[in-house]
Structure 1
Amino acid sequence: MSRADAAPGTDAAPEAPARRTSTGRRALWTGIGAIIVFGLAGLVQYLTDAVPALAAGTWFGDIAESIEYPIYAIALGFLANAVLSLCGIRDRMEAAFRTELFIKIGLVLLGATINFAIFVKAFGPAVIQAVCLIAIVFAFTWWFAGVLGLDDRLRALLASALSICGVSAAVAAAGAVRAKKEQLAYTATLVIVFAVPSIFLLPWLAGLLGLPPAVTGAWIGGNIDTTAAVTAAGTVAGEQPLQIASIVKVTQNALLGFVAVLLTLYFTLRVDRRAGAGEAPASGAAADAGAPRPRAWAMVWDRFPKFVLGFLFASIIATVLGATMDPAVLEPRLDAAKELQVWALSLAFVSIGLEFTVSSVREAGWKPILVFTAATLVNLVAGLGLALLLFSSFEF
């Protein structure tokens, strides 16, 4: 009997064990990657405690005291990235590098350490700053990217990432405007490349300028693109700047769904309609341009970062317990939440270093890099002005 006459499915039978083997290998490499991530996070905890003790009384003692755990975590992540890449096995472990998941867990736990009264007090200025910064940075990025002739969909991704919350905003915008995966990869890479130096640059600049803690936190939260990097920079700057930076960032994150809806409406009513009228569609348009789009409010909820609700809920619960529970009973539990928060954030910061790829930077091209650089400078200046205007008189 010829192969053509074979019963349907006969040829597929040998493929099933191969698929199972492939799945098993992926699971094995993911498990190994998870062990590495958790092992590095454990090493971060050890170094944070041991280095200052070992360096006490030496010239390095004061410096060691000022080094916070995010610095160790990111440095170890990049070092492990280099080693694993040289060995040719980093890509096999990518599924274990879950920066977004770890940072969301860490931020929900961080909410338990912030008195809800502080959130209520900072919410008004945070909303004003978020709306103004999103409008200023988005408009500038959209305009400048257009001047350089970038595709409308890539312009939307860059503007969303720069003005709201980095990779998460770029992903939401990509779904709203139906961008190419390559465009999303360019944008995500640029977000990481620009965010990592900001973790150390902004706290240093804030100290150099003598900014108060609340202004420092508002500047960090409003300017650094990724929530993970905001948390790292806030930790470096101090406990009070971290609280304000987190509040400002989650406020920006909460506006993500509304921006995604506006982008959807713009591309539906103008860009896609223009293409349907005879103009060539913008490069990067997805093949399913005619597919139905979700309703506006459904998209708002779909894009809304749910961890923001967890952050608020944890803050409310901790505040209520603080007012009703014996401190001797409550404090150990809050300390445990703080310890878990540090672990979750350490895992996120290690993953930042492990996720970085040099090849993506080379593929991005010079025009998006120029747009990102110019818009970042605008964000820094506008963000500092708004932080000074809105948070100079803030008291904890």
Structure 2
Amino acid sequence: MSLRQPHTHVADAAPAGVPAAIPDEPTGRTSFNWPGFAAGLAVVLALGVGAHALTEGVPVWTKGTPFGAVAKSIEFPIYAIVLGLLGNLVLTSTGLRDRLLPGFRTEFFIKTGLVLLGASINFAVIVRAAGPAIAQAVLLITFVFFFTWWVAGRLGVEDRLRALLSSAVSICGVSAAIAAAGAVKAKKEDLAYTASLVIVFALPAIFLVPWLAGLLGLSDAVTGAWIGGNIDTTAAVTAAGTLAGEQPLQIATIVKVTQNALLGVAAILLTLYFTLRVDRGSSEQRPGAAAVWQRFPKFVLGFLAASVIATIYSASVPAAVSSATVGVANDLRTWFLIFAFISIGLEFNAASIRRFGWRPVAAFGAATVANLVIGLGLSLLLFGSFVF
């Protein structure tokens, strides 16, 4: 897409190459690409089955070899992301990727997986972690957002793009960028660029942050809080949490969904700022409570409901029955997360990164480093004494 095209707002259409902006469920409009959706979904499912087979098979196939000991520690997110990236390379080289984009449903898969994850977390853990999670989310989002806004401004990044960058790095990645794009009426090219930049930084963070947490000897709770508060996308947080372990994954998810819950508030504040300061004189209607609800990530409620229902159910049936039921939910969760990580790899689009030069990348990189450092301090302060 050429940057010389007329200014087109996100409200008018979803940007090419940003599948997260596509509704989680196909609409009934005749313009929806059903063949592309079906074929893309088939690719995701096929690669997902392959990732699952590698996860189960590689440790068996390499048993007794020097790689065998390493193979046991390689979790399904690694195979899924690698296969997704390889699939992306093949589809891009054959010219098929853009046609199949409607089938790469990262948001649907990850949100369904997280709702199922709620079924394996005792609600008492969520209640005890809620206070520190809210404090961390508010403090971290506030600091990182304004730091990114300041750095991007110093580097001469245009206001709308720096609003997207600031929201993405401080809140929850692509979803935050989409909400911010609608709030500030950003161009489609800005959203596509920000989404690609988020993925570029999130992919290495999936492996880097758990490794650093182990190197620093952090507790499970602090590790989870650091992962949940600092990695930009919910899918990447889940992948990193999975690599770190079940308890870090639980805390990481609680922290991240707390940040997600603040997404609607951030979008409204951005709307007010751009309406009253940047776009003064605009005749557009001021945002109200309905807009907050519209932007609120509804899967957070599903996550909490699943935890409450599972906690009540576990207290009402024998332990063996409860364990078997949670086991089924965990198996389903694994499959949905595999499909989500496959989709992450398939969605990645490096081409848009080269369009805007080095300044937005430098701002995003500086904010990411600041996010890691401040996030680690807050995680140690707020979750250092947390006990499961």
TM-score normalised to the size of structure 2? 0.90
Q: Which moved more, 1:361-370 or 1:372-381?
A: 361-370
1:261 and 2:268 correspond:
yes
How many percent identity over aligned positions? 65
Q: Tell me the CA shift for residue 184 of structure 1.
A: 1.1
Could you report, residue by residue, the CA deviation over 1:167-226 in whole angstroms, capped at 9, with x for unpaired residues?
111111111111111111111111111001100010111111111111110000000000
Counterpart for residue 322 of structure 2: 330
Contact 2:129 2:254 in 1 (8 A): yes
Counterpart for residue 12 of structure 1: none
1:165 and 2:172 correspond:
yes
Counterpart for residue 387 of structure 1: 379
Supply the distance in 1 between the matched residues of 2:58 and 2:373 (Cα, whole angstroms): 36
Aligned ranges 1:82-101 → 2 under 5 Å:
82-101=89-108
Counterpart for residue 341 of structure 1: 333
Counterpart for residue 299 of structure 1: 291
Q: Which moved more, 1:318-327 or 1:63-72?
A: 318-327
Q: Tell me the CA shift for residue 24 of structure 1.
A: 10
Supply the distance in 1 between the matched residues of 2:96 and 2:153 (Cα, whole angstroms): 39
1:252 and 2:287 correspond:
no
Counterpart for residue 153 of structure 2: 146
Q: Tell me the CA shift for residue 384 of structure 1.
A: 0.3
Candidates 120, 124, 129, aligned match of 2:127? 120
Aligned ranges 1:283-322 → 2 under 5 Å:
289-295=282-288, 297-322=289-314
Contact 2:268 2:287 in 1 (8 A): no
Supply the distance in 1 between the matched residues of 2:208 and 2:356 (Cα, whole angstroms): 23
Q: Tell me the CA shift for residue 328 of structure 1.
A: 2.7
TM-score normalised to the size of structure 1? 0.88
* Higher percent of residues as helix: 1
Unaligned 5+ segments in structure 2 are 1-29
Supply the distance in 2 between the matched residues of 1:263 and 1:27 (Cα, whole angstroms): 35
Q: Which moved more, 1:26-35 or 1:38-47?
A: 26-35
Could you report, residue by residue, the CA deviation over 1:210-255 in whole angstroms, capped at 9, with x for unpaired residues?
1111111000000000000000000011111100000000000001
1:218 and 2:225 correspond:
yes
Q: Tell me the CA shift for residue 86 of structure 1.
A: 1.4
Could you report, residue by residue, the CA deviation over 1:347-390 in whole angstroms, capped at 9, with x for unpaired residues?
00000000111211222321110000000000000000000111
Aligned ranges 1:350-369 → 2 under 5 Å:
350-369=342-361
Supply the distance in 1 between the matched residues of 2:383 and 2:62 (Cα, whole angstroms): 37
Amino acid at match of 1:30: F
Supply the distance in 2 between the matched residues of 1:57 and 1:65 (Cα, whole angstroms): 12
Q: Tell me the CA shift for residue 329 of structure 1.
A: 2.4
Supply the distance in 1 between the matched residues of 2:160 and 2:76 (Cα, whole angstroms): 38
Could you report, residue by residue, the CA deviation over 1:301-355 in whole angstroms, capped at 9, with x for unpaired residues?
1111000000000001111111111223222221111111000000000000001
Amino acid at match of 1:204: W
Q: Secondary structure at the match of 2:232?
A: coil
Amino acid at match of 1:290: S
Q: Secondary structure at the match of 1:66?
A: coil
Supply the distance in 1 between the matched residues of 2:297 and 2:190 (Cα, whole angstroms): 22
Larger Rg: 1
Q: Secondary structure at the match of 1:211?
A: coil
Counterpart for residue 20 of structure 1: none
Candidates 188, 202, 213, aligned match of 1:195? 202
Q: Tell me the CA shift for residue 271 of structure 1.
A: 1.3
Could you report, residue by residue, the CA deviation over 1:28-64 in whole angstroms, capped at 9, with x for unpaired residues?
3322221111011111111111111111222111110
Supply the distance in 2 between the matched residues of 1:79 and 1:380 (Cα, whole angstroms): 29
Contact 2:52 2:76 in 1 (8 A): yes
Unaligned 5+ segments in structure 1 are 1-22, 277-288
